[in-house]
């Protein structure tokens, strides 16, 4: 016979997690209905995406600057994600790690300069 009592803590954890998830989702909705904060109107229910409301055809073209700003955000977000572990491990990597990160930052700076010169950061 297999002893399933070892799985009881995992099962208990799953039930508690599901219970808290349901509580955190449905309790605020119920409280807002009871307190009167739930007052939907057309403006609150409208879709809002990419900085402007979607009133046109879904296949319409976006301005390319929206994508350029998004790509720039991703690049500099990745830069920050690489800088934190690098700073923590700099004592172990030494000069090789420092030169490698300065090369990485120089490449990103060249990309930012190119983007700036091409006018990708100008918003009208």
Residue 124 forms part of a structural domain: yes
Top-confidence range, 10-14, 54-58, 71-75, 89-93: 10-14
pTM: 0.47
Predicted confidence (pLDDT) per residue in 32-46, tens digit: 888 876 677 877 777
What would the DSSP string read from start to end of the chain? Answer: ---GGGGHHHHHHHHHHHHHHHHHHHHHHHHHHHHT-----HHHHS-EETTEE--S-TTPPPPHHHHHHHHHHHHHHHHHHHHHHHHHTHHHHHHHHHHHHHHHHHHHHHHHHHHHHTTTT---
Residue 97 forms part of a structural domain: yes
We report the CATH number of the domain holding residue 114 as: 1.20.58.1610
Range of the domain at 66: 61-124
Residue 39 forms part of a structural domain: no
Residue 46 forms part of a structural domain: no
> What's the domain count of the chain?
1
Residue 87 forms part of a structural domain: yes
């Amino acid at each position: 016979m297999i002893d399933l009592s070892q799985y009881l803590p995992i099962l208990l954890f799953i039930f508690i997690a599901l219970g808290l998830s349901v509580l955190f989702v449905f309790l605020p909705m119920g409280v807002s209905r009871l307190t009167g904060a739930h007052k939907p109107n057309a403006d609150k229910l409208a879709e809002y995406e990419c900085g402007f409301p979607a009133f046109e055809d879904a296949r319409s073209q976006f301005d390319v600057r929206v994508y350029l700003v998004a790509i720039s955000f991703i690049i500099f977000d990745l830069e920050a994600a690489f800088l934190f572990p690098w700073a923590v491990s700099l004592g172990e990597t030494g000069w090789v790690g420092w030169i490698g990160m300065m090369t990485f930052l120089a490449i990103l700076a060249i990309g930012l300069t190119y983007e700036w010169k091409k006018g990708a950061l100008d918003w009208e």
